Chains A and B, each alone.
Chain A
Amino acid sequence: MKWSRRVIKYMIEGLFTLSGGVTSLVILLIVVFLFKEGMGLFTNPAVEKGYALCVNAANPTGSLDARVVKQIFDGEITTWEEVSEGKMTGPIALFRFNEIFSRYTEEELGEDYALLSPRLQEVVAGTPGIIAFLPEEYLPPGQEVVKRLRAGNITPGSFFTGGEWQPTVAPAPRFGVLPLILGTIWVSLFAIVLALVPGLGVAIYLSELAGARARGWLKPTIELLAGIPSVVYGFFGLVVLVPFIQKLFSLPVGESALAGSVVLAIMALPTIITIAEDAIRGVPRALREASLALGATHWQTIYRVIIPHASSGITAAAVLGIGRAVGETMAVLMVTGNAAVMPRSLFEPVRTIPATIAAELGEAPAGGAHYQALFLLGCILFVITMVINLSAEFIASRGQGKGVGA
């Protein structure tokens, strides 16, 4: 009897230890997976995978920067003088792969496109100023007339400081995450600015002013607010808030950073209220009594003693509110308009990191540069939220030294 009980005890203990270990391991693996996939981005060529840029063999240009390639294909750079430091002259002749079908008839390209490569070679050889964007599969074989440009890899510098997020542009997609990072921070920070004053007000009301009855129904209501699925907030924002903002500020579109901030502010309120209220309730009774016993009024006690004492907890509440806002996906995706541009005002559409991942991962080919760039965005988000949580913890722990000394 006794030993069987002991065996069961060991088994249960082992089970708990195992589940704890497995959970930690899974979380660790997810992080490792995230970073492994994301870091792969920088081994990608700047030009879309499977494609190559070719020039006439007489062209001395050996390689082109990804940014320059984009400008060339956008028509912003039109002569070789601008890119080759005088080694090559004349206008740039753009050639995209599908143009071959307008230059040659199907018969000329042969059965099953067997003659496609030689035809491409003809085109490249016949145009000295050409730059051609071709699939590697059909790359012309003649090394003496066609030269393949060396394309550098996507660099961390262009990724983190690039101002353009155009992941599906050919031939050189642009992965500049700065607009997304700034969009995220912009929307989240303004959300906290909006949420902090009412949140703090409610926390003070709940902990200091509300009677037992008001508290009894208000507190569960606020906690309920935290449990509403974010898509519902997004729906509310889309149907109510977006048209309202559009009308109020007479904007062309209501989907804007402001709409995102307001929705996030509402979503961050329960977090802020709950944590700030805990902090205020945590102020020792002795301090309250000391202040009141000196003839301070309730309000004087609140703003001279209680709020200063709870300030670290209140700051932690704000920081955790930001953390909640930064990671929020669905509601923001629905109301911010999702334009991946540098945020310039609150009334323009912006796009956040989570919204980008959610919107684009489905259409990014697995293993491709776009796919890896989205994973790297996930890594950035992970780092941002980790920093936020750690700083909240740090702020809260620093405040614990403020107890009443005996």
Chain B
Amino acid sequence: MIETKHVDFYYSSFHALKNISMMMEERTVTALIGPSGCGKSTFLRLFNRMNDLIDDTRVSGECLIDGEDIYSKSVAVDELRKRVGMVFQKPNPFPKSIFENVAYGLRVNGTRDRSFIARRVEDSLRAAALWEEVKDKLRESAFALSGGQQQRLCIARALAVSPSVLLMDEPASALDPISTSKIEELIASLKQDYTIVIVTHNMQQAARVSDKTGFFMMGELVEFGDTKKIFSDPVNEQTRNYVNGRFG
């Protein structure tokens, strides 16, 4: 379970997130939507502390995963990131073989057991619905795969370290429609085991894959609720305009 309480976030003097309180339940898909620059990606990157990589940023409020404040001093960031996986907007496989891409997280974890690694790689590729396509060419470069396959490889890579949360930052925006629908099917099946938070620009996608939807604008969480409700009968006027495609 992910919970934020009165979270504010600043890029030096720019107030990027304003007093966000939100709760995402286990084994659900939460979609974050909103116009460009609204803060939804920044919000997503709070949960694996990816924003730490940017100089001169500041966060206040509470950000809890399974009840633990992930911004407290006692949290080791690399341990946190093993529990909270991330899939990026553009597929970003390493310039290594397909097998080594998936095994990477295990190797940096210090896992040496070869048969265990091989099993985890297969399981992860199966979970990412990629196994059948790549099982005969695990030693080939990941760049030999198509864009959609690369993105599923990145999902498999994130799954290999057994996270409980999966963050997805517009995972299908760089893909063609067929690859996109495969990713969406995948999200639906991954929901059974993972808590998923997905940022998307694509309204239909949010409607198709998510249980809950949060609408962001200018750093504020304008409305948050069941996806069906947000798309059919939102409370807020701005939400209605946005989901109906009037702006954004």
Contact of B92 among A287, A295, A296, A308 (CB under 8 A): A287
B161 touching A289, Cβ below 8 Å: no
A294 touching B81, Cβ below 8 Å: yes
Given contacts A294-B105, A297-B78, is CB(A212)–CB(B92) below 8 Å? Answer: no
Complex interface: chain A residues within 8 A of B88 (CB): 286, 289-290, 293
A289 touching B109, Cβ below 8 Å: no
A294 touching B95, Cβ below 8 Å: no
Provide the bound-state CA to CA distance between A404 and B91, in Å: 8
CB of A197 closer than 8 Å to a CB of B: no
CB of B157 closer than 8 Å to a CB of A: yes
Given contacts A212-B55, A405-B143, A406-B147, is CB(A294)–CB(B161) below 8 Å? Answer: yes
Given contacts A405-B93, A405-B147, A406-B91, is CB(A291)–CB(B104) below 8 Å? Answer: yes
Complex interface: chain A residues within 8 A of B147 (CB): 405-406
Contact with A along B115-156 (1 / 0, CB 8 A): 000000000000000000000000000010001001000100
CB of A119 closer than 8 Å to a CB of B: no
Provide the bound-state CA to CA distance between A308 and B93, in Å: 14
Contact with B along A312-332 (1 / 0, CB 8 A): 000000000000000000000
CB of A22 closer than 8 Å to a CB of B: no
Shortest beta-carbon distance from B159 to chain A in Å: 11
Complex interface: chain A residues within 8 A of B91 (CB): 404-406
CB of B40 closer than 8 Å to a CB of A: no
Complex interface: chain A residues within 8 A of B79 (CB): 295
Contact with B along A35-54 (1 / 0, CB 8 A): 00000000000000000000
Complex interface: chain B residues within 8 A of A290 (CB): 88, 92-94, 154, 157
- The tally of residues in A whose CB lies under 8 Å from a CB in B reads 23
Complex interface: chain B residues within 8 A of A404 (CB): 90-93
B94 touching A291, Cβ below 8 Å: yes
A296 touching B78, Cβ below 8 Å: yes
Provide the bound-state CA to CA distance between A343 and B147, in Å: 55
B contact face: mostly helix, strand, loop, or mixed: helix
CB of B158 closer than 8 Å to a CB of A: yes
Chain A 381-406 interface residues, beta-carbon cutoff 8 Å to B: 402, 404-406
Contact with A along B86-121 (1 / 0, CB 8 A): 101011111100000000110111000000000000
Chain B 146-191 interface residues, beta-carbon cutoff 8 Å to A: 147, 150, 154, 157-158, 161, 174
B174 touching A406, Cβ below 8 Å: yes
CB of A284 closer than 8 Å to a CB of B: yes
Complex interface: chain B residues within 8 A of A286 (CB): 88, 90, 92
> Which of the listed residues A288, A290, A305 has the most CB atoms from chain B within 10 Å of its own CB?
A290
Provide the bound-state CA to CA distance between A305 and B101, in Å: 11
Shortest beta-carbon distance from B48 to chain A in Å: 6
Provide the bound-state CA to CA distance between A195 and B79, in Å: 37
Complex interface: chain B residues within 8 A of A402 (CB): 95
CB of B212 closer than 8 Å to a CB of A: no
> Which of the listed residues B53, B85, B108, B109 has the most CB atoms from chain A within 10 Å of its own CB?
B108
Shortest beta-carbon distance from B65 to chain A in Å: 14
Provide the bound-state CA to CA distance between A291 and B234, in Å: 39
B108 touching A296, Cβ below 8 Å: yes
Chain A 272-296 interface residues, beta-carbon cutoff 8 Å to B: 284, 286-296
CB of A351 closer than 8 Å to a CB of B: no
A295 touching B108, Cβ below 8 Å: yes
Given contacts A308-B95, A402-B95, is CB(A295)–CB(B81) below 8 Å? Answer: yes
Contact of A294 among B55, B85, B90, B143 (CB under 8 A): B85
Among residues of B, the one whose C-beta sits closest to the C-beta of A304 is B108
Among residues of B, the one whose C-beta sits closest to the C-beta of A301 is B108
Complex interface: chain A residues within 8 A of B143 (CB): 405
CB of B1 closer than 8 Å to a CB of A: no
Provide the bound-state CA to CA distance between A300 and B93, in Å: 16
Shortest beta-carbon distance from B12 to chain A in Å: 13
Provide the bound-state CA to CA distance between A206 and B8, in Å: 32
CB of A309 closer than 8 Å to a CB of B: yes
Provide the bound-state CA to CA distance between A290 and B169, in Å: 12
Provide the bound-state CA to CA distance between A288 and B88, in Å: 12
Shortest beta-carbon distance from A302 to chain B in Å: 12
> Which of the listed residues B81, B150, B157, B158 has the most CB atoms from chain A within 10 Å of its own CB?
B81
Given contacts A297-B108, A300-B108, A405-B147, is CB(A292)–CB(B92) below 8 Å? Answer: no
Shortest beta-carbon distance from B214 to chain A in Å: 22
Provide the bound-state CA to CA distance between A291 and B161, in Å: 12
A295 touching B94, Cβ below 8 Å: no
Shortest beta-carbon distance from B158 to chain A in Å: 7
A305 touching B92, Cβ below 8 Å: no
B109 touching A405, Cβ below 8 Å: no
Among residues of B, the one whose C-beta sits closest to the C-beta of A295 is B82
Provide the bound-state CA to CA distance between A288 and B54, in Å: 13
Contact of A293 among B90, B94, B158 (CB under 8 A): B158
Provide the bound-state CA to CA distance between A308 and B81, in Å: 23
Provide the bound-state CA to CA distance between A304 and B108, in Å: 9
Shortest beta-carbon distance from A399 to chain B in Å: 10
What would be 26 A-B contacts, judged by CB atoms less than 8 Å apart? A212-B55, A284-B92, A286-B88, A288-B53, A290-B92, A290-B93, A290-B94, A292-B53, A292-B78, A293-B158, A294-B157, A294-B161, A295-B79, A295-B80, A295-B105, A296-B78, A296-B104, A297-B78, A297-B108, A304-B104, A304-B108, A404-B90, A404-B92, A404-B93, A405-B150, A406-B90
The 4 A-B residue pairs whose C-beta atoms are closest, nearest first, are A295-B82, A286-B92, A294-B105, A296-B108
Q: Which residues of A contact B (CB under 8 A)?
A: 212, 284, 286-297, 300, 304-305, 308-309, 402, 404-406
New A-B pairs, 7, CB < 8 Å, besides A289-B88, A404-B90? A288-B53, A289-B92, A290-B88, A290-B154, A293-B88, A294-B82, A294-B161
